[in-house]
Structure 1
């Protein structure tokens, strides 16, 4: 990719009024000298998104965020940077490829794509002749309209060698031989040991479903038999340099827009299930190819949505596939939902029997897959033997383990231990779960009510809150799997962008020691460097240029963009600036100490003996003292 050409595209986009670009996505109205729009990022009825074409920015007063046109499209359409540029080009009628030239593919890849594209056209053309009754019967029996057949580019491969005949028609002998070798490598043809032709077609007497990558390029085929004695019923392209079954999501190029709009994706098992869901209005559906989901498939889905719904076949293979896929998503901190199909074997069967409204109700009532999985594990009668109960609990720990030690996992561990009739307290169960995650053998849990423990110590440390030793004076956020930008870090970033003179204060550099989010810290350091290199008059345009820097997330740019929208060339007086920095420093210190306190609480719960428990309690007391010092004022030492 040429950085210069992309820079030219970014520059050209900035030359277009922001209101013009945003109007291609949301309804924009002019009120006097202002341009406004209903904000798509919250439930907005009275336009709260303001657009300033002179400054090339937009800002929402409710969400307190803003940015340039590119960032708007990234946020609104949930796109990566280059995909957002391409989307804007499509809206404005520009050719994205004039600015972004992919590396020239190898002759092998180019030939492979050419053969598959032409193969799709050939099979589709044969189907559209109307001469092959099996294809017409298939559409009729499946209730597929001509529009669906066209959208999915369905085709028909008759008995014979139509694909090999196409290759044989290539006039240039060298190119023809090369095409034959590539077609064989792709599994489209096979060597023949009889007859007067050197090769025969792999797909014969079959309904053809082209398979596309997420860009819409044909990379393979799946096919369905048209005769009762044909084996196998479904035949796919073989894995090759273009086609990898586990890394594909059938129908993603058709479903992407709907997935973004609904912020949800439904995963089904087969291509016919995807077609059936799509034609019944569930256009945010994609199909895994078989019963596996590759890492690349997750990588393509997660930037679009984090809301995953599993609607897999209602058999043992489907259940196993669901368990594997569910674990993959849980490792990413996502808990997929599950659609119960009842007695029906797959989504297609359900829709044919009960209709779209019934499936919509099942979707509305969908529960987390992990809860369904755990319910399946629970026997009809709870065993009486403690050892058997502990075996079942270890199996539950294994199912929960992809969630690591998140609240979602520990809450379920405690709940299911109680359902098994184990009487250990919550802290013991959580400690055993933590030991399981570490790979250690859990301590013995109690299968009968415990005797109240006594502590062989004189009492808690002085000043300890006996009523609630873990009480805090301000609200604490739950520990998330990913390190999110906190409210105080957001306020810091907003103040520094809106009042750049703060960046030059020595106290600001000290603040960074208390900033936990690395991206926020990096952005502030970049702004600080820029302030030493530019004139004050250049500041707005320089910060605006950072809006199109790929290294920063949409969240950071939205926060900074919102602050830049409020920027005015007026400086704070020295006392106000110092007070602002001191106030933020205090809040950042409190955030950091509270984070340490959370870790110490976990250490206390997992303590193996009284000494470790007392050590954790002592450290917690020290944290409480530091918190009290910080809250009292800036002159006390921490």
Structure 2
């Protein structure tokens, strides 16, 4: 079976090579490549490299080299077509049927690429001739050098609204032996539906060739020179070789540049891309007049782990950034995200780089905001948080949005990050801040915790030892989780409270996140449904291990056979105690850090007082829980 180069190229592009090879070979990131022990011969030191950008692997020991198809063939003992079928099934691609019609279509696609190449050269010649003088003056007036014009293959399509031939391209191509039907198939000619002669799609426009990722011309964008033109920019229509939502302007050039520098930047228009390249920023691409699609985002992630998206700093730019963020959010995966740059007011990359040079743009790139910060700002800015109901509403909206993230690990980490930020955002209200007026969130309104090295003094206390808060708080944490899973209806009243709890026992934060997610989605809160949800999330084993701990049997209100009213009372009581002791712990840690940073008498006195208060509280809680202090550790009576 003969398969078209286009099909094979698309199949390879659907996979990240290191992901496929990483299923069988332990790979370690080494610069822009991955390295590991070669699966094709025995070796003790790694000589096997994987390059995702170029889509091939190579072993410097045995010389093995190839694509994802070669790897599957070589490691799974499959024939070529068997490997293709397996990969196509995994990628969700339908194997092409080698009918006479399909063979003819594949042949036609190759012919159409040749047609587009001929058209591109003809447009370039027109720009340099007398007929294209106005177009040439326009691009020169935009600050482009001749070398840049040639590099990007800019051209000119003659004709126009005010006169001139409607068939200049058609006539020139027919004189070269290119038939009319092929020009129609490429979208270069328009054939009226009601009949009549075909005519050139692009007339009196500066022409920008659009290539595929291999650099083959597949379409054009045209910038109108007629002031009365209905569309300032016009792109080729969808054809058998051009799909707008799956293509990026300057794709081939940016792929090569991204391999060298490890980053790619998305800008709005053709001129932005070209101006940046003229000043040495070669890794810019642009969507084709529409918002970024999921497929384009996937292409970007094959060039860089965190593509940089550039937008205008006005409201329209913020809306465009929000659309891109919403498209990308469900697709986030470990190591793959986005960063955002907002241009100064009144500027775009073209005007900025031509006025202030490359360093001005690179300065913005270096300060690009990660997606997590832009998402937080989008979800919180302008929201009133002066009442419990408004805070609960904001919190619910945030976790509803985070539920769209499909990768469970990334979702869990986002939920933890935003829970911390909400705690910082809401904390002033709990301490009396903002009373007497309506509080709203504004950028910079979240207080950053001080980053100072701890002295280790906290570890001298019984609860301070170990990974988390010690036996007392760990038992509290497990009891709280046990109660919520057995009586999830408690979340109806205490969802906001639960969202602010942070646990030290591994796995408990994940269970809390799953409970909040189920509540945020509006699902019925019952024990069976929660247990099913935990099982789906891979968290049921963690919960079952908690249930097996004999020390928790005495917490009768936390078990399934307790009445809901008793469970609610017990939950409220233990949460209040847990918040009290964790707040005392935070005060102690804060005083410790401040004393470590500046050892003044005032800071020492504050540290000693906080230490004494915390130790008194931990001993009190230990007595309540039936623990006794023995050799510096808690043990159960």
Write the distance in 2 (CA, Å) between the matches of 1:470 and 1:364: 44
Write the distance in 1 (CA, Å) between the matches of 2:191 and 2:212: 28
Equivalent runs, 1:16-27 vs 2, <5 Å? none
Matched, 1:184 2:188: no
Matched, 1:168 2:174: yes
Q: What's the secondary structure of 2:471's corresponding residue?
A: coil
Q: Identify if the C-alpha distance between structure 1 residues 232 and 380 changes in structure 2 by more than 3 Å, giving closer, same or farther.
A: same
Q: What's the secondary structure of 1:216's corresponding residue?
A: coil
Equivalent runs, 1:346-365 vs 2, <5 Å? 346-365=348-367
Write the distance in 1 (CA, Å) between the matches of 2:550 and 2:319: 48
Of 48, 66, 82, which residue of structure 1 is paired with 2:47? 66
Q: What's the secondary structure of 1:327's corresponding residue?
A: helix
Q: Identify if the C-alpha distance between structure 1 residues 616 and 114 changes in structure 2 by more than 3 Å, giving closer, same or farther.
A: closer
- The match for 1:21 is none
- The match for 1:14 is none
Q: Higher relative contact order at CA 8 Å, sep ≥6: structure 1 or structure 2?
A: 1
- The match for 1:304 is 303
Q: Identify if the C-alpha distance between structure 1 residues 138 and 422 changes in structure 2 by more than 3 Å, giving closer, same or farther.
A: same
Aligned residues: 396
The superposition leaves residues 385-421 of structure 1 with CA deviations (integer Å, 9 ceiling, x where unpaired) of 4333333333333443344532133312441354256
8 A Cα contact 2:211 2:217, kept in partner: yes
Write the distance in 2 (CA, Å) between the matches of 1:113 and 1:144: 28
Q: Identify if the C-alpha distance between structure 1 residues 370 and 347 changes in structure 2 by more than 3 Å, giving closer, same or farther.
A: farther
8 A Cα contact 1:156 1:207, kept in partner: yes
Deviation at 1:332, TM superposition (A): 2.7
- The match for 1:602 is 510
8 A Cα contact 2:312 2:345, kept in partner: no
- The match for 1:155 is 155
Matched, 1:269 2:177: no
Deviation at 1:228, TM superposition (A): 2.3
Q: Identify if the C-alpha distance between structure 1 residues 469 and 180 changes in structure 2 by more than 3 Å, giving closer, same or farther.
A: farther
Q: What's the secondary structure of 1:187's corresponding residue?
A: coil
Write the distance in 1 (CA, Å) between the matches of 2:325 and 2:513: 29
Q: Identify if the C-alpha distance between structure 1 residues 416 and 275 changes in structure 2 by more than 3 Å, giving closer, same or farther.
A: farther
Write the distance in 1 (CA, Å) between the matches of 2:507 and 2:381: 36
Q: What's the secondary structure of 1:338's corresponding residue?
A: strand
Q: What's the secondary structure of 1:395's corresponding residue?
A: helix
Q: Which runs of 5+ in 1 are unaligned?
A: 4-38, 44-48, 88-98, 426-463, 472-596, 626-638
Deviation at 1:119, TM superposition (A): 0.8
Q: What's the secondary structure of 1:603's corresponding residue?
A: helix
Deviation at 1:616, TM superposition (A): 6.3
- The match for 2:545 is 619
Q: What's the secondary structure of 1:223's corresponding residue?
A: strand
Matched, 1:416 2:422: yes
8 A Cα contact 2:255 2:283, kept in partner: yes
Q: Identify if the C-alpha distance between structure 1 residues 51 and 146 changes in structure 2 by more than 3 Å, giving closer, same or farther.
A: farther
- The match for 1:210 is 209
Write the distance in 2 (CA, Å) between the matches of 1:381 and 1:245: 37
Write the distance in 1 (CA, Å) between the matches of 2:367 and 2:323: 22
- The match for 1:137 is 137
- The match for 1:553 is none
8 A Cα contact 1:80 1:303, kept in partner: no
Deviation at 1:298, TM superposition (A): 3.2
Q: What's the secondary structure of 1:208's corresponding residue?
A: strand
Deviation at 1:280, TM superposition (A): 1.9
Write the distance in 2 (CA, Å) between the matches of 1:329 and 1:169: 47
Q: Identify if the C-alpha distance between structure 1 residues 59 and 235 changes in structure 2 by more than 3 Å, giving closer, same or farther.
A: farther
Q: What's the secondary structure of 1:303's corresponding residue?
A: helix
Write the distance in 2 (CA, Å) between the matches of 1:42 and 1:623: 46
Q: Identify if the C-alpha distance between structure 1 residues 392 and 470 changes in structure 2 by more than 3 Å, giving closer, same or farther.
A: closer
Write the distance in 2 (CA, Å) between the matches of 1:324 and 1:342: 20
Equivalent runs, 1:241-260 vs 2, <5 Å? 241-260=240-259
Q: Identify if the C-alpha distance between structure 1 residues 58 and 117 changes in structure 2 by more than 3 Å, giving closer, same or farther.
A: farther
Q: Identify if the C-alpha distance between structure 1 residues 618 and 162 changes in structure 2 by more than 3 Å, giving closer, same or farther.
A: closer
Write the distance in 1 (CA, Å) between the matches of 2:224 and 2:266: 24
Q: Identify if the C-alpha distance between structure 1 residues 397 and 351 changes in structure 2 by more than 3 Å, giving closer, same or farther.
A: farther
Deviation at 1:304, TM superposition (A): 3.1
Q: What's the secondary structure of 1:348's corresponding residue?
A: helix
Write the distance in 2 (CA, Å) between the matches of 1:106 and 1:381: 55
Matched, 1:41 2:17: no
Structure 2 length-normalised TM: 0.53
Q: What's the secondary structure of 2:398's corresponding residue?
A: helix
8 A Cα contact 2:412 2:510, kept in partner: no
8 A Cα contact 1:112 1:186, kept in partner: yes
Equivalent runs, 1:318-397 vs 2, <5 Å? 318-330=317-329, 331-333=331-333, 334-380=336-382, 382-397=384-399
Q: What's the secondary structure of 1:228's corresponding residue?
A: coil
8 A Cα contact 1:59 1:66, kept in partner: no
Write the distance in 2 (CA, Å) between the matches of 1:219 and 1:307: 27
8 A Cα contact 1:314 1:346, kept in partner: no
Deviation at 1:275, TM superposition (A): 1.2
Of 398, 407, 412, which residue of structure 2 is paired with 1:406? 412
The superposition leaves residues 85-132 of structure 1 with CA deviations (integer Å, 9 ceiling, x where unpaired) of 499xxxxxxxxxxx99x9965343234223222111110111123552
8 A Cα contact 1:315 1:345, kept in partner: no
